[in-house]
Structure 1
């Protein structure tokens, strides 16, 4: 069942009883609140398992994700079977990824103790406090600049069920100021006993990250590793190949990289016959020594 507004887009869009898509209009916060109230009044909330929050309005003061976060958190007891929340399902025509305005998203994890997937797009103003969450299995930050304090909050959280962690770290110009030191608790794996899929991507310090990953304890139990979308060069690839074995992986994702043809061949040869699926697509060329991540603005 789908209900759409012929103007800005879907006011609320329900694709079967288990899916709810709530968005605002050009009017910003007041419209998303009205649309959310419509959603609450017209659906069997006990059937909803997935909530996707789209455009909540232009980025003037107050029009951040704090409003939909608050609205959802306040009615969490009426949504007992929600297992997945996507916050920021916003197309580039509505807002570039680094212009999406957020606030503190911690209340979602606090209000939904059975949540299994949290997917956040956009990093501007994003805040997170260290939490303990026993059910979360997938945590995905899709940004052009993930603040270091958010990375440190993830690293300081207790997430015993987390199987997949993906962080698009982005660039400093858009707030992506995380360092390898911020990632150290994640790479140790001590608080992430169930982690099997790790993505540390879209970074302008991709070589440094690759070097740290090469000796990271968490890698031994991973099934998939993504160091893609960033500025990986031969230096980072050589560090990976010289470090701990990676042939236990099912997939190694290095797409959008700056490896030379010689290094691409070297990597391919290193994994030939191992069964590891290696993605070396999107071989980029520096622009006057400038290297660009795949997603920034």
Structure 2
């Protein structure tokens, strides 16, 4: 059986070309017997192309390339013709077609798809983190988080955590009630990444009444009474003063507004 050799030449890691070769070869040799696939990643110089062509000619290898730079693609094609080496351009035809169709030049930046993948997985990780450490379920998350939110019930801690998670921030949130001591981890965290959320007693009263009604409970429950709300807010201020964190008034603020305020503070801190 003749041995098949493939060289995958890429200006990134070569994963796309590698997968394409395997998809095609599997139609002829499902168990990849007598098949060799060799990657040449991060190729950006024409001198490197000449070296690869020389090796491919000696080993009778087929070159598959995924190069986004037009000059490199053209150079490898010409070298293949000149030295009688089989070369196959995977990206070029589609890049040229789209450029012609939408009248827009490609960025020609290698590895963008992998950067997007990394962004996606960071977001998923942050969302899972926010769910795991929501509502003080596990105080260990406080020390692992990028951002820690503290506040009384119904100050938008959970939706704010999820919104920030979609911006790739790992967020833990901690509810504060007078009858329960805050977790010790809250007082160990860097106060610059901790934010207290407060709301006007009147608005909180309305929100809690609506919540009780939605649950099928009477709106006169202690949870929504003004005295109870004042007690919780007083306790909140005692805790955040001890933590030393910034307090944000979320009264009449959309989640996006509060999130942008927090992101600005966090990013400014990184620059210091």
Q: State the TM bucket, normalised to the shorter chain.
A: under 0.3
| Structure number with higher relative contact order (C-alpha < 8 Å, ≥ 6 residues apart) | 2
Higher Cα Rg, which structure = 2
Higher relative helix content:
2
In the superposition, the TM-score normalised over structure 1's length comes to: 0.21
In the superposition, the TM-score normalised over structure 2's length comes to: 0.23
